[in-house]
Structures are given as C-alpha cells and as structure tokens.
Structure 1
Amino acid sequence: MASFFSRLNAKIRSRPMLSYVCSTHFWGPVSNFGIPLAAVMDTQKSADLISGQMTGALCIYSATFMRYALAVSPRNYLLFACHFVNEGAQLTQAYRWMQYHKWGGKEEAVKNKAEGAVGKIEGEVTKAVEKMKDAAGK
C-alpha cells in the first residue's frame, strides 16, 4: 500500500501544474480568499457598521502579507493577489469610515432620515385632510 502512495506522489510531483495545485503554496491563498471576498461584500453595507480599529489592523495585515508574498522563494503571486484585493477593500472601508465618522456623514444621515420622516408625516396629514374633505362633502 505504501508503494502505491509513493508512486502516486511521484506521478503528481512529476507534473509541475499538478504539483503546484497539490501544494500549500496554492491552497493557502485559495483558502485565504474568503477574507477579501467578505471585505468586498461589506463595502455594500451601512457605514455605521464599520470598525475603524479593525479596518486599520486589516490594512496593516494585508500590506505585510503582500510584502511577504513577494519575499518568499518562489514568489507567491496568488497570495499577493489575495492580499492586494483585501488591501483595496480595506482602504475603501477606511475611506467610508472616515467619511461617516469624521467628515460629516453621520450628521448627513441623521438629517436625511429626519427629512424622510417629516415627508412621510406630511403625506399622512395630506391623506387625512383629503379624507376629512370627502367626509364633509358627503
């Protein structure tokens, strides 16, 4: 049985593409792609849910591992791409956090919410007045 596995391993390692796909050099970044996918999906959520500290930590983490991906031998371009995407998503989140918390986005959101509520109330009052006019006319 052991000779079967050793022959199978030798066959896999004899082909460069199969050898690469069966290595941690490939599967590490592939499994790590969940982080940037989640980060990209989070860019569609409300800005008040963003953690500034976590976003900053993830920016540093991705920049560090982008550097690491190019420092190892052989260079791991798949790992670099994974962290490049994550870095872009985290910088987008950092900008959204700054816009919301530091540059007046929170006040603007509250103002828009209040204006929407006032508009809704005005609409309800207009409907009520119309109903009263109809009732008075009958």
Structure 2
Amino acid sequence: MAAFVKAINAKIRSHPVLNYVCSTHFWGPVSNFGIPVAAVADTQKSPDLISGKMTLALTIYSATFMRYSLAVTPKNYLLFACHFINEGAQLTQGYRFLQWHHWGGKEKAGLARAVEAGKEKAKELETKVGKAVGKK
C-alpha cells in the first residue's frame, strides 16, 4: 500500500500543474479568498456598520501580504491577487467609513430622511384637506 501511495505522489509531483494545485502556494490563497469576497460584498451594505479599526487593520494586513507574496521564491501571484482585491475593497470601505462618520454623510442621510418624512406628512395632510373640503 505504501508503494502505491508513493507511486501516486510521484506521478502527481512530476506533473507541473498537478504539483502546483497540490501545494500551499495554491491552497493558501484559495482558502484566503473568503476575506476579499466578504469585503467586496460589504461594500453594498450600510456605511454605519463599518468598523474603522478593523478596516485599518485589514488594509495593513493586505498591504503586508501583497509585499510578502512577491518576496517569497517562487513569487506567489495568486496570493498577490487575493490581497490586491482585498486592499482595494478595504480602501473603499475606509473611504465610506470616513465619508459617513467624519465628512457629513450621516448628517446628509438624516436630512434626506427628514425631508422624505416631511413630504409624506404633507401628502397625508393634503389628502385630509381634500376630503374635508369635498365633504362640505
């Protein structure tokens, strides 16, 4: 049985594509792609849910590992792509966080909600007045 396993392993390792697919240079980035997928999905959610500290930490983390992926031998371009996507998503989230909390986004959204509530109330009053005038 051990000879059979050795023969299969030798066969896999002799083929360059299969050798790459069976390595940590492939499976590390593939398993890590959950982070950028979640970050890109989060860009569609409300900016009041964004954690500024976590966004900063993930931005630094991705920048560090982008550098690491090019410093190792052989260069790991799949890991670079994973962290490049995550870096872009985290920078987008960081901008949205700053826009919401520090550059007036929260106030602007509150004002827009108040205007909409005022319009709805005006429509209700218009309907009530129309009914009252029509009854006389």
Q: TM-score, normalised by structure 2?
A: 0.96
1:105 match: 105
SS of residue in 2 equivalent to 1:74: coil
Paired position in structure 1 for 2:11? 11
Amino acid paired to 1:105: G
Counterpart of 1:87? 87
**How far does the alpha carbon of each residue in 1:67-86 deviate from its partner, in whole angstroms, 9 at most, with x for none?**
11011111100000000000
Alignment of 1:121-132 (within 5 A): 121-132=121-132
Residue identity in the other structure for 2:61: Y
Give the whole-Å Cα distance in 2 for the aligned partners of 1:12 and 1:97. 47
Ranges in structure 1 where 5+ consecutive residues have no aligned partner? none
Offset at residue 4 of structure 1 (A)? 1.1
1:132 Cα shift? 2.3
Following superposition, the deviation at residue 94 of structure 1 comes to 0.5
Q: Secondary structure at the match of 1:44?
A: coil
Q: Distance in 2 between matches of 1:129 and 1:56?
A: 54
* Aligned pairs for 1:1-138 within 5 A: 1-134=1-134, 136-137=135-136
- Tell me by how many angstroms 1:131 deviates: 2.3
How far 1:117 sits from its partner (Å)?
0.7
| Runs (5+) with no aligned partner, structure 2 | none
Partner deviation per Cα, 1:88-124 (whole Å, 9 max, x = no partner): 0000011111111111111101101111111111111
Once residues 74 and 66 of structure 1 are traced to their aligned partners in structure 2, the CA distance between those partners, rounded to angstroms, is 14
How far apart in 1 are the matches of 2:108 and 2:85? 30
What amino acid sits opposite 1:31 in the alignment?
Answer: S
How many residues are paired up? Answer: 136
| Amino acid corresponding to residue 69 of structure 1 in structure 2 | S
For residue 127 of structure 2, what is the amino acid of its counterpart?
Answer: K
